[in-house]
Amino acid sequence: MTEVFGPDIVDKAQQIIERYPESRSALLPMLHLVQAVEGHVSQAGIEFCATRLDLATAEVTAVVTFYTMYKRKPCGEHLVSVCTNTMCAMLGGDAIYARLREHLGKPKKPLGHEETAGTPGEPGSITIEHAECLAACDLGPVLQVNYEFYDNQTPESAVELVDALRRGEKPAPTRGAPLSDWRAVSMELAGFYPDDEAEFRSLVDGPSAAVETLRGAQLAADRAWTAPTMPDAELPAVEAGKK
């Protein structure tokens, strides 16, 4: 464990713990820290968190296995999450997922959920998963790479995207920060960013909204629509003893 989680990681873990009034509250970012180091949450990572936070390994394991953002198997350089919830599935999300599974699994067999094309952690390796709602129904079907959005996808555009990733390219997301890699994102989710302001901005700045998302608000502004005011009325008395 000490070889994997050296003094620098122990120091970062302590920094996370000091952010919270109760050490156990630091578990989620601590797991992201472990994932940034290993590319997944191993048993050694679970034990590391349990020891630092004075928790039972069973408590840590329960959290790791509950949240889908924590991976128990080594992850690729990039995590591709395809939304297959109802809206995206109806718009083509299921077809995108099926096409990527087949494409990434060649020449053997289609990849399964959370399986990896290539050697995990190596450049160009890709882990694929189907995801529940990614909260972008107005732009479906969507997928994410390392949690950055690629909107209005088709099976063809999704294949082009993963092929670019395998070549070492990092196509710009439709919205959100510039694309990095899985371990770097995990470190950011643990709460660690560059101290330099310009470098920090280069990591996080990017478009955050789409025309489709803001269409309703734009129509309201163009047509001077406003919400009706609430009528003046005395609220019912709820204090004890009042009738």
Residues 45 and 116 in one domain: no
Q: Contact at 8 Å (CB) between 93 and 58?
A: no
Q: How far is CA 128 from the centre of its chain?
A: 13
**Digit-coded pLDDT (tens) for 107-129:** 899 999 999 999 998 999 999 99
Angle at CA of residue 120, ends 114 and 126, nearest 5°: 55
Q: Could you tell me which of 37, 27, 36 has the C-alpha nearest to residue 3?
A: 37
Sheet holding 143-145, edge to edge: 115-117, 126-131, 78-83, 143-145, 148-150
Determine how many CB atoms are found less than 10 A away from the CB of residue 199: 10
Structural domain contains residue 27? yes
Burial class (CB in 10 A: 0-12, 13-18, 19+), 34: buried
Domain end call among 66, 90, 116: 66
Structural domain contains residue 38? yes
Residues 120 and 62 in one domain: no
pLDDT of the residue at 1: 47
Mean pLDDT of 235-241: 55
pLDDT of the residue at 242: 53
Q: Contact at 8 Å (CB) between 74 and 40?
A: yes
Structural domain contains residue 193? no
Structural domain contains residue 133? yes
What is the residue-averaged pLDDT of the chain?
91
Mean pLDDT of 162-190: 94
Domain end call among 66, 92, 116: 66
pLDDT of the residue at 236: 62
Structural domain contains residue 212? no
Residues 27 and 83 in one domain: no
Kindly tell me if the per-residue pLDDT of 9 is higher than 70: yes
Residues 102 and 159 in one domain: yes
CATH of residue 107's domain is: 3.40.30.10
**Digit-coded pLDDT (tens) for 147-160:** 999 999 999 999 99
Mean pLDDT of 81-89: 95
Residues 48 and 118 in one domain: no
Distance (Å) of CA 63 to CA 46, 60, 97, 109, 135: 10, 5, 27, 32, 23
pLDDT of the residue at 227: 86
Residues 35 and 12 in one domain: yes
Residues 25 and 114 in one domain: no
Residues 37 and 84 in one domain: no
Kindly tell me if the per-residue pLDDT of 102 is higher than 60: yes
Structural domain contains residue 124? yes
Burial class (CB in 10 A: 0-12, 13-18, 19+), 12: buried
Residues 52 and 145 in one domain: no
Residues 94 and 11 in one domain: no
Q: Which helix (H) or strand (E) holds 160?
A: helix 155-166
Domain end call among 179, 200, 215: 179
One-character DSSP codes across 213-226: HHHHHHHHHHTT--
Structural domain contains residue 167? yes
Residue 177 phi, psi (nearest 5): -70, 160
| Tally of domains within the chain | 2
CATH of residue 24's domain is: 1.10.10
Residues 168 and 88 in one domain: yes
Q: Which structural domain, as residue segments, surrounds residue 132?
A: 78-179
- In whole angstroms, give the CA distance from residue 40 to residue 31: 9
**Digit-coded pLDDT (tens) for 36-81:** 999 999 999 999 999 999 999 999 999 999 999 999 999 999 999 9
Residues 58 and 14 in one domain: yes
Structural domain contains residue 103? yes
